[in-house]
Structure 1
Amino acid sequence: MPAWDHRFNSTAARKLWVGGWAEGRAEGQAEGEIRGKSKAVLMILEERSVPVTEAIRWEIRWCKDLDILDRRLLQPLKVTTAEELFA
């Protein structure tokens, strides 16, 4: 057992620590996926020269729902205004 594991002298404590670590890692991965998708939506709109207001940019950046971001990821290919993303 590594030296830093001296605190975890019981199986239950080790399981709790490992479970917390895994949960934190999963949350970090989900946050990264959310950031990537919202960034992609904004990049596509920019590449297509679709004007994006600061309010809409904020709405896209702070959306935490992966299902909504998945739907919005393909919409910029079809819209002519950023407001159409929310229609």
Structure 2
Amino acid sequence: MVLGPDSIKKVTTLAEAISNIELAVLSCGAHGDGPDGKVILEVVTEALDTIDIDKAGQYTDLLGSMLGESGLLLLEELLLNAQYEYVSEFSQKLRAEGEAKGQALGEARGEARGEARMLLLVLAGRGIVVDPKSEARIRACPDTDQLERWGARALDITHIEELFAE
């Protein structure tokens, strides 16, 4: 048996999506990139707010793998431009996870920038001439472990090229 858009019903009402969430998810996968994609995505995202948070997360992951580019863009647009304040446990968990990931990423970037600045100060203090290309490489490095290795090496070098020697 082959499943495709012609053999999967379009679920376009919230009541139907809630009563058969699996069909609603399949409907999204089959029709979410088509002309009815926005309606189908709207009802499935609302229906997911009514089920167990872990199961909703699994279905959301599945949607991400089933939708094409236009469906994913529609889904992103719906979630970003929603006037509705999502209050379900599922939505709150996703929001909290997103905020935590964003905060961790921001902290890691800030830490890397701080280490890069310190490395440049150490090099300047030791009288090592840092050309613009090397400065850009140091400032662009997001890897704090690498910056720390360079920092340790900066104590013993006499030319900037030695800093990057592996």
TM-score normalised by the chain length of structure 1 = 0.87
1:1-87, aligned counterparts within 5 Å? 7-87=85-165
Cα deviation, residue 49, structure 1? 0.8
Aligned Cα root-mean-square deviation (Å): 1.2
Cα deviation, residue 8, structure 1? 2.7
SS in 1 for 2:117: helix
Q: Which has the higher helix share?
A: 1
Q: Distance in 1 between matches of 2:97 and 2:141?
A: 27
Tell me which amino acid in the other structure corresponds to 2:136: W
* Higher RCO (C-alpha 8 Å, min separation 6): 1
Gaps of 5+ in 2: 1-83
Q: Compare 24-33 and 54-63 and name the one that shifted more.
A: 54-63
After TM superposition, the runs of 4+ consecutive aligned structure 1 residues lying more than 6 A away are none
Q: Distance in 2 between matches of 1:12 and 1:28?
A: 24
TM-score normalised by the chain length of structure 2 = 0.47
Q: Distance in 1 between matches of 2:100 and 2:150?
A: 29
Tell me the alpha carbon deviations over residues 53-85 of structure 1, each in whole angstroms, 9 at most, x when there is no partner: 111111111112222112011111111111100
Tell me the alpha carbon deviations over residues 32-56 of structure 1, each in whole angstroms, 9 at most, x when there is no partner: 0110111111000001111111111
Q: Distance in 2 between matches of 1:40 and 1:50?
A: 14
Cα deviation, residue 10, structure 1? 0.7
